[in-house]
A and B are shown apart, each in its own frame.
Chain A
Amino acid sequence: MKKIIITVFISSSVVIFYSLIPIFNSSAPNEYSEIEENSIELCKTCPPGFKLNGSNECISRNLYLQYESLENKGVGGLKTALPMVRDGFSPQQIDLGRYLFFDPVLSADHTVSCASCHNPEMGFSDGLPTSIGIKNKSVARSSPSLWNVAYLNKLFWDGRASSLEEQIEGPLYAENEMGTTREKLLLTLNEIENYRELFAQAFPERAASDSIKLHEIYKSIIAFESSLISINSRYDQYAHGYHKALNQEEIEGLNVFRSFVARCSECHTPPLFTNQQIAVIGTPEPGGLVFDAGAEIPFNDRSRRGGFKVPSLRNIEKTAPYMHSGKFKTLRETVEFYTKGRGHAVPNDEELILHWHIWEPNLSDYELDRLVDFLKTLTDESFKPKIPKVLPSGLKLKTNAT
């Protein structure tokens, strides 16, 4: 009897103690800043996946840093290091970039934000075969996911940009995307008092009264994009050594994926699930679209006609429809493309130098199903950032989905 009383006493005091804990922190700020009426303060801590160093820089930290890779290229097998990461931004720059990313004030007519086509609720894509910019103008290609762009050295489907700085000027100023101009963008942001204050916080090395500069806008958005890390999927648990993370069918899928029959991993190479090369695979365009010459144009190289950057497959489950112009609605249709025969969808009047890994693997329906099972193990949105409740411009949040 005495024992029971003591046990009850101890456990109830533990419960009381624990239940008090949240009270200690009830006034603590949240993970990201929120704009209040009278206070605008950018976040001082790094997003998950980053450690703040003594120079107020967020440095990437994750379990893949336990490993190495051949020539530091970040391609290999399960316990292989990731490619070189783009990091070192300050928490304030990342947080400011988050506001800019979701703010339609950046576009010419204040209707489209980065998040319109890169919606965090849709795998940082938009669910459309090809995207739609301002004034419902159509864009030629599908919106690529932004998860893990910090690791990419080729950007855009045709691989024409080799840095996020080069990339960002594309959608901002393309007349059918955000449609603004450098002058208009600077003018707009400098007219918004909230942004002037926020930029002064994010770039403290210059005078607070200075005007907002283009490179500061770019740097902030790039800082936010580089914080979108997804490397804690069930596949990753398996890769780090916990083999129960995948079930039998998913492991069978992994083995089909990396076999030299299906050859998926030859281009979608772990751990990023892309080898960051250009490949001509000959996928069809959806009805009504003309043949897309892809990498032939920026590289001015006929041999790359119809070539596109190998996309990462992380969070691929979230970013249907698939391929550069969204021809395939499901993962099942997409994997099936690869077993339908080399060049089966190439228009008769096109002569393409198809990639040597495109062949006729004769995968069975069972194998195709297992491939899809495996691809779904690459989903991880545990570090998904919060969408701001209020925007510094005072505009309403706008994404195609919300």
Chain B
Amino acid sequence: MQLKTYKMAKSKTKPVLKKIVTILITLIVGVYLGYKIFGPKVKEAPLPNSNSLYRSIAKTNDSAAASNMSTAFTGEVITVKNGESIVDAVKMANPGDLIRVYPGIYSETVYIDKDNISFQGIIQEGEWPTLDGKKELNDAFLYSGNGIQIENFKIVNYKGNGIMGQAGNNFVIRNNWVIDTGVYGIFPQYGTNGLIEHNILTGIEDAAIYVGMCDNIDVKHNKVYGNVAGIEIENSRHALVENNYAYNNTGGILAFITPGLPIKTTYDVIIRNNFIIENNHKNFGAPGSIVAGIPPGTGILIMAADDVIVENNIISGNNNAGIIITDFENGGAKASNDPESEPNPDRITILDNFMIDNGNKPVGELKALMLTQLSSKGPDILAIGGGVGSTIRDKNRYRTFGLGNYGESIKDNTRDVLTLMLDKPVEPKDISEMELGELTYYGICAGCHAYDIRLIGIPTNVIQMIYKDNPQGIIDYINNPKNLRDDYPEMPTQNYLSDEAKMAVSKYILALEK
């Protein structure tokens, strides 16, 4: 977005006249610019300001601000308009770039295997840029890079996910409108430090927002309804679920451990200030899925997770129970045992919550359990199975079952916790040029070259003789090898290495001593 300046041709007229002309031109330019800036707007959205995308997060008490995620996008702005391809834009994009997508229908799977790419939908007069999977495509967004930001998209009719991340850290997913995208709506996996906020999701057959095997995630201000699970924190640590509105799901908000996954724990979860209302939807989870076992009418489900705090939520009208705290065995999910996975919910803390009108129509095992108590109503809070160290504040205000061993909570609020994201973005691993050279040399070159031994290629000490003080010479050669010797096979090109790795390994080769 650079303004080009043009040099005026030198005037040969008299100085006075020259001045007048200059003033006139300045005036005309000024008026034109003024019109452009302050005049009536054409359908052109303003560029996001330098340190935020959707809105100036610095002005609000926002997780992204608290964790310094408001990194400026530093690169180019790439524009995608209706009829063009977002995937093509990603192919062109470099780290730091912002891809702005205008209203239109985009039927594609946008995969992002690069770092620090931001996506911004431009909404014009209520028209959204819409990713439509037409029930043929698997995923709308699929990323593996760090620092991915996705905002302002309408995502409909995919079969797998709306937005799925695999190992990307430092992500922001906000202001997306996700409708019937298959199994999950928003699903970051193996990511650290992420924010999911201000999204609306419905019609998802598993969890609308599914934080799976992640650390340090805030899920805030989202609306989830008409899904099997509203928000699910699974095998993840340090998650804040706050100010969400979860209604008419089968289960509203879930924190649990699924056995058989490589990351085995869930702990340090705060479920706070949410509206968890009438989550009585019929369970339409796929047969065999973990959520297929969730009884309809479940407000909050805590299964096998540890150190979960439930505070200041309004939990009402959930027909089975307001909160169910269970070990894996009693949780109703069907999966093989995992000896490395601890199945009990420990140190659960229930603080102040507003709970009314729950348990009007308990189902299945809970119904049978309550009948043994001569009650046809389910409780506000049910605890069943193993687990130690759990507490509750002011227990008598709720109708509870199975909380006999719950002590009085020592903690009375979590106001010191503003976010569970990190206070700064996760940095990439610090690798020096020499280390990178070493990793490349032994990890790749050593397949054919050894220091003073003939392998498939010439010995490294001979390379040193040829390219003394000339790393660029090595780079040129590995980019485009020419077979110079009859008694050696031709070297395959190594142009797939990054420029940094090529330079690092060339220097490393020249400095190698044995």
| B429 pairs with A63, CB closer than 8 A | no
The residue on B at minimum CB distance from A384 is: B447
- B164 on interface, CB distance cutoff 8 Å: yes
Stretch at the interface among B21-29, B257-265, B356-364: B257-265
Give B212 Cβ to nearest chain A Cβ, in Å: 9
Which one of B109, B167, B289, B455 contacts A79 once the chains associate, using CB atoms below 8 Å? B167
What is the number of residues of chain A that contact chain B, defined by CB distance less than 8 Å? 77
Decide yes or no whether B277 CB sits under 8 A from chain A: no
Chain B neighbourhood of A251, CB < 8 A: 111
Report A261 CB to chain B, min CB distance, Å.
4
Q: B144 to A75, Cβ gap below 8 A?
A: no
Interface pick from A14-22, A169-177, A203-211: A14-22
B288 contacts A18, CB within 8 Å? no
With A260-B138, A260-B187 in contact, is A77–B444 under 8 Å at CB?
no
**Contact residues of A: prevailing secondary structure:** loop
Q: Interface digits, B55-93 against A, CB 8 Å rule (1 contact, 0 not)? A: 000000000000000000000000000000000000100
How far is it, in angstroms, between the C-alpha of A21 and the C-alpha of B457 when the chains are bound? Answer: 12
The answer to whether A45 touches B261, judged by C-beta atoms less than 8 angstroms apart, is: no
A259 is contacted by which of B138, B288, B436 (Cβ under 8 Å)? B138
A299 to B339, CA, bound (A): 9
CB pair B262 A276 closer than 8 Å: yes
B377 — which chain A residues lie within 8 A by C-beta?
none
Nearest neighbor of A252 in chain B, beta-carbon distance: B109
Contacts of B354 in A (CB 8 A): none
Q: A25-B459, A48-B446 are in contact. Are A277 and B262 (CB under 8 A)?
A: yes
Q: Is B478 an interface residue (CB 8 A)?
A: no
Distance of A262 Cα from B139 Cα, bound (Å): 11
CB neighbours (8 Å) of A259 from chain B are 109, 138-139, 142, 160-161, 164
Q: Which residues of A contact B213 (CB under 8 A)?
A: 70
- The answer to whether B485 and A48 touch across the interface, beta carbons within 8 angstroms, is no
Please tell me if A66 contacts chain B, counting CB pairs below 8 Å.
Answer: yes
Contacts of A262 in B (CB 8 A): 138
Give the distance in Å from the alpha carbon of A58 to the alpha carbon of B337 in the complex: 38
What mask results when residues 237 to 266 of chain A are scored 1 for a CB within 8 Å of chain B, else 0? Answer: 111111111000001000110111110010
Minimum CB–CB distance from A95 to chain B (whole Å) comes to 13
Interface status of B184 (Cβ within 8 A of chain A): yes
Chain B residues bordering chain A, tally (CB within 8 A) = 75
B183 at the interface (CB under 8 A from A): yes
Residues in B with CB closer than 8 Å to A256 are 138
Contact A71-B144, Cβ < 8 Å, known A24-B462, A48-B446, A243-B113: no
Interface residues of B in 226-283 (CB under 8 A from A): 258, 260-263
A residues less than 8 Å from B441 (CB atoms): 61
**What are 29 A-B pairs with beta-carbon distances under 8 A?**
A22-B485, A25-B453, A30-B453, A30-B455, A31-B450, A48-B447, A51-B438, A64-B443, A66-B439, A70-B167, A73-B263, A77-B165, A80-B167, A239-B113, A242-B495, A242-B496, A251-B111, A255-B109, A259-B109, A259-B142, A259-B164, A261-B160, A261-B182, A301-B337, A307-B336, A353-B336, A356-B258, A356-B288, A359-B288
5 A-B pairs with the lowest CB-CB distances in the bound complex, closest first: A77-B167, A76-B167, A62-B443, A61-B442, A242-B496
Chain A interface residues (CB < 8 Å from chain B): 15, 18-19, 21-22, 24-25, 28-31, 45, 48-51, 61-71, 73, 75-80, 231-232, 237-245, 251, 255-256, 258-262, 265, 269-270, 275-280, 299, 301, 303-304, 307, 342, 353-356, 358-360, 382-383
Using a CB–CB distance below 8 Å, which chain B residues touch chain A? 91, 109, 111, 113-114, 138-139, 142, 144-145, 159-161, 164-168, 182-184, 187, 190, 192, 213-215, 258, 260-263, 286-290, 334-339, 429, 431, 436, 438-444, 446-448, 450-455, 458-459, 462, 484-488, 495-498, 501
- Contacts A25-B452, A303-B336 given; 18 further ones with Cβ under 8 A? A22-B487, A31-B453, A70-B192, A70-B263, A75-B262, A77-B168, A238-B113, A240-B496, A241-B498, A259-B109, A259-B138, A260-B182, A260-B183, A276-B262, A342-B288, A355-B260, A356-B290, A383-B447
